[in-house]
């Protein structure tokens, strides 16, 4: 036996003194592996929540997610960044797409509700259509109903704001919409939400028919993303050249997302959702809304994202948001600085400053300075993609991890706070794609110390091009 595994055995044994849950124990024994996609049979079903502003969509999402902190604002149309959430009820998992934050786009254009809802519905397996029962059905609601009929997806009609029995009668008038039985709910107080969730599970398929399932062994999947006009379609055309193979989406589901197989550096890559890149629709109206939703769905299908940034303009809030979406989705990340041909000395100076300031949290992402127009350095993207995916797949053996953390902690222990010093008891990599670490500790680890540990892990094991997750489980010593 090596000394490393002796150490692990000793650490494991030491854990016997601490209160561990059965799940903790399974993790420690290496029986529980959360691996992004590994524990899934297929893509999770997608539920879209649509409805006019202020009917209570966000409140309902929070209710379904059982989140304590409400992100609801009293101002209608406050833009939220994220649109997709992981939900669970009765042991079944699904994805919720919330359109609540998308009433106004960045340029202040008011989106028609039906138009806004259309994309969300197209990308969903089932729909929750929320109406404010205290207001009743409006013309906007009628327009949504017509759109829903055309779409032909299963729909549950939610009569929200039915806070008490008195308002039940209001809910019943919504039978008139012709969508079947209204489900009376109070998103705010929770009334009726359990019944609604049961009804949701009845209409949702086991696995999504919308999000395409990919074989694990197939070509690696790349999403080409970035805000409008950064050069996505130009780069796609440059990379694809003439030997482009267009792959149709699953027949009978969505028409729009189409993948392309492109050969780069002697290997085939699957660029996902390229139709959304090529088809320049909805340019004027709600471009932001569509762009963000497309980014989200492309990320769900992809393993690695190339985020394009236009170097001829200052790095914007929107650029940073796209990068953040990749991290939140747990995908590998490559950043391509495009339009390098337009760069002069002065702009270059400011660009580097902007990168230092705005993108410090992703210094680990491989970078390529490219020009989709001239083809400059586009070949470097292949090495960057390979690096990022290699890190995304990487697994550090438990013995090595603990031996390494032991050294790190010995050299720089957690600061003593209030006379106490939390100890790291044991660590394990619980999953890959992206790498997820679980650290068992005898006390709370401060944010600064967690960042220090992440930095050390990256220095030692690489992980260039992938987000990594570190969760800390504080466990008490058993009383004797
Ligand atoms: P969204 O624009 O559709 O996402 O609506 P919000 O979730 O932001 O809710 C709009 C307003 O309606 C907020 O002030 C909520 O507190 C309120 N609201 C939401 N659900 C209910 C409910 O079930 N009952 C009552 N009385 N108010 C609610
Ligand atoms: P998309 O909206 O991200 O797909 O961006 P496009 O590919 O349509 O590009 C937007 C504009 O930027 C077009 O006018 C392109 O010709 C231009 N463009 C794209 N890449 C480059 C580049 O590398 N250099 C220069 N000078 N222009 C570029």
- Give tens-digit pLDDT for 9-25: 888 888 888 888 777 77
The verdict on 458 and 349 lying in the same domain is no
Task: Please check the confidence at residue 85 and state whether its pLDDT lies above 50.
Answer: yes
The verdict on 384 and 408 lying in the same domain is no
The verdict on 258 and 278 lying in the same domain is yes
Domain membership of residue 76 (yes or no) is yes
Closest to 115 measured CA to CA, from 289, 275, 296, 273? 289
**What pairs with residue 224 in β-bridges?**
306
Q: From residue 261, how far is each of 212, 238, 240, 280, 334 by CA, in Å? A: 15, 13, 8, 21, 19
Arithmetic mean of pLDDT over the chain: 83
**Distance between Cα 441 and ligand 2 center (Å):** 50
Atom 6 (ligand 1): residue with closest C-alpha?
56
Residue 459 belongs to domain with CATH number: 3.30.300.20
**Distance between Cα 230 and ligand 2 center (Å):** 6
Closest to 432 measured CA to CA, from 469, 399, 379? 469
The verdict on 186 and 308 lying in the same domain is no
- Give tens-digit pLDDT for 240-261: 886 556 654 443 334 456 788 8
Q: Comparing 77 with 92, which gets the higher pLDDT?
A: 92
Residue finishing a domain among 374, 392, 410 = 392
**Distance between Cα 100 and ligand 1 center (Å):** 11
How far is 94 from 205, CA to CA, in rounded Å? Answer: 10
The answer to whether the CB of 62 is under 6 A from ligand 1 is no
Residue 53's pLDDT is 82
**Distance between Cα 235 and ligand 2 center (Å):** 8
The answer to whether the CB of 76 is under 6 A from ligand 1 is yes
Total tally of structural domains belonging to the chain = 3
Residue 350's pLDDT is 97
The verdict on 354 and 239 lying in the same domain is yes
The verdict on 230 and 173 lying in the same domain is no
Token pair of 407, please? 């050294």
The answer to whether the CB of 227 is under 6 A from ligand 2 is no
- Give tens-digit pLDDT for 378-432: 999 999 999 999 999 999 999 999 999 999 999 999 999 888 899 999 999 988 8
**Distance between Cα 260 and ligand 2 center (Å):** 20
How far is 205 from 400, CA to CA, in rounded Å? Answer: 42
Average pLDDT value for residue range 92-100: 78
Residue with tokens 């600085």: 337
The answer to whether the CB of 186 is under 6 A from ligand 1 is yes
**Distance between Cα 232 and ligand 2 center (Å):** 7
The pTM of the whole model exceeds 0.75: no
How far is 420 from 437, CA to CA, in rounded Å? Answer: 24
Q: From residue 206, how far is each of 92, 121, 317 by CA, in Å? A: 9, 18, 37
Sign of CA dihedral 308, 309, 311, 313: positive
The answer to whether the CB of 232 is under 6 A from ligand 2 is yes
Residue 34's pLDDT is 46
Instruction: Give helix then strand counts, H and E, for the chain.
Output: 15, 16
Residue finishing a domain among 338, 367, 392 = 392
Residue 186 belongs to domain with CATH number: 3.40.50.300
* Atom in ligand 1 nearest the alpha carbon of residue 185: 23
Average pLDDT value for residue range 362-384: 95
**Cβ distance 164 to 141 under 8 Å?**
no
Closest to 383 measured CA to CA, from 432, 332, 339, 334? 334
The verdict on 12 and 67 lying in the same domain is no
Count other C-beta atoms under 10 Å from residue 34's C-beta: 14
The answer to whether the CB of 54 is under 6 A from ligand 1 is yes
The answer to whether the CB of 234 is under 6 A from ligand 2 is yes
Residue finishing a domain among 345, 377, 392 = 392
The verdict on 328 and 191 lying in the same domain is no
Count other C-beta atoms under 10 Å from residue 464's C-beta: 18
Residue 312's pLDDT is 97
* Atom in ligand 2 nearest the alpha carbon of residue 376: 23
Domain membership of residue 211 (yes or no) is no
The answer to whether the CB of 276 is under 6 A from ligand 2 is no
Residue with tokens 């790291």: 424
pLDDT bracket for residue 303 (50, 70, 90)? very high
Could you give the residue ranges of the DSSP H alpha helices within 70-215? 113-122, 139-151, 168-172, 193-203
**Distance between Cα 259 and ligand 2 center (Å):** 21
Q: How many residues does the chain have?
A: 480
How far is 226 from 133, CA to CA, in rounded Å? Answer: 39
How far is 149 from 135, CA to CA, in rounded Å? Answer: 22
Q: DSSP state, 18?
A: B
How far is 396 from 435, CA to CA, in rounded Å? Answer: 9
Domain membership of residue 40 (yes or no) is no
Atom 6 (ligand 2): residue with closest C-alpha?
231
The verdict on 285 and 383 lying in the same domain is yes
The answer to whether the CB of 253 is under 6 A from ligand 2 is no
Residue 436 main-chain phi, psi, to 5 deg: -125, 130
Average pLDDT value for residue range 444-465: 94
Task: Please check the confidence at residue 364 and state whether its pLDDT lies above 70.
Answer: yes
**Distance between Cα 325 and ligand 2 center (Å):** 22
Of 67-76, 330-339, 454-463, the range with the lowest mean pLDDT is 67-76
Domain membership of residue 210 (yes or no) is no
The answer to whether the CB of 228 is under 6 A from ligand 2 is yes
Domain membership of residue 445 (yes or no) is yes
Domain membership of residue 212 (yes or no) is no
Domain membership of residue 86 (yes or no) is yes
**Cβ distance 179 to 148 under 8 Å?**
yes
Token pair of 389, please? 């995916």
pLDDT bracket for residue 111 (50, 70, 90)? low
Domain membership of residue 31 (yes or no) is no
How far is 239 from 127, CA to CA, in rounded Å? Answer: 37
How far is 102 from 113, CA to CA, in rounded Å? Answer: 9
Sign of CA dihedral 380, 385, 387, 388: positive
The verdict on 178 and 279 lying in the same domain is no
Coil, helix or strand for 403? helix
Residue 67's pLDDT is 59
Task: Please check the confidence at residue 304 and state whether its pLDDT lies above 90.
Answer: yes
CA angle 276, 38, 124 (to 5 degrees): 35
Ligand sitting nearest the alpha carbon of 73: 1
The verdict on 308 and 231 lying in the same domain is yes
**Distance between Cα 310 and ligand 2 center (Å):** 9
Residue 170's domain spans which residues? 45-203
The verdict on 152 and 174 lying in the same domain is yes
């Amino acid at each position: 036996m090596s000394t490393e595994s002796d150490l692990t055995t000793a650490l494991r044994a030491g854990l016997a003194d601490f209160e561990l849950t059965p799940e903790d124990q399974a993790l420690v024994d290496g029986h529980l592996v959360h691996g992004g996609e590994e524990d899934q049979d297929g893509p999770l079903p997608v539920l879209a929540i649509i409805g006019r502003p202020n009917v209570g969509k966000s409140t309902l999402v929070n209710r379904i997610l059982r989140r304590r902190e409400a992100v609801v604002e009293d101002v209608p149309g406050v833009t939220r960044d994220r649109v997709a959430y992981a939900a669970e009820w009765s042991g079944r998992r699904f994805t919720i797409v919330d359109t609540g934050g998308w009433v106004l786009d960045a340029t202040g254009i008011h989106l028609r509700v039906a138009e806004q809802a259309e994309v969300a519905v197209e990308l969903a397996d089932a729909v929750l259509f929320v109406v404010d029962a205290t207001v009743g059905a409006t013309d906007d609601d009628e327009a949504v109903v017509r759109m829903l009929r055309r779409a032909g997806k299963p729909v549950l009609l939610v009569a929200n704001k039915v806070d008490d029995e008195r308002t039940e009668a209001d809910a019943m008038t919504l039978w008139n919409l012709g969508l079947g039985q209204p489900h009376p709910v109070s998103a705010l107080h929770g009334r009726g939400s359990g019944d609604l969730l049961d009804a949701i599970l009845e209409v949702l398929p086991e696995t999504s028919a919308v999000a395409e399932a990919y074989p694990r062994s197939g070509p690696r999947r790349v999403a080409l993303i970035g805000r409008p006009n950064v050069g996505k379609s130009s780069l796609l055309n440059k990379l694809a050249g003439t030997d482009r193979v267009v792959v149709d989406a699953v027949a009978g589901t969505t028409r729009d997302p189409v993948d392309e197989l492109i050969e780069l550096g002697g290997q085939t890559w699957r660029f996902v959702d390229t139709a959304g890149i090529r088809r320049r629709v909805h340019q004027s109206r709600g471009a932001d809304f569509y762009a963000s939703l497309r980014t989200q769905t492309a990320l769900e299908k992809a393993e690695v994202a190339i985020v394009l940034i236009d170097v001829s303009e200052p790095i914007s809030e929107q650029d940073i948001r796209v990068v953040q979406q990749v991290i939140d989705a747990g995908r590998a990340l490559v950043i391509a600085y495009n339009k390098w041909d337009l760069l002069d000395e002065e702009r270059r100076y400011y660009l580097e400053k902007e990168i230092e300031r705005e993108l410090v949290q992703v210094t680990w992402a491989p970078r390529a300075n490219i020009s989709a127009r001239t083809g400059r350095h586009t070949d470097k993207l292949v090495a960057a993609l390979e690096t990022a995916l290699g890190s995304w797949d990487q697994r550090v053996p438990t013995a090595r991890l603990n031996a390494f953390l032991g050294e790190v902690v010995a050299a720089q222990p957690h600061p003593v706070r209030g006379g106490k010093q939390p100890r790291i008891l044991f660590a394990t990599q619980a999953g890959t794609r992206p790498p997820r670490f679980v650290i068992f500790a005898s006390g709370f680890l401060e944010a600064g110390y967690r960042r220090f540990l992440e930095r050390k892990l990256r220095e030692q094991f690489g992980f260039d091009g992938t987000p990594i997750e570190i969760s800390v489980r504080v466990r008490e010593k058993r009383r004797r």
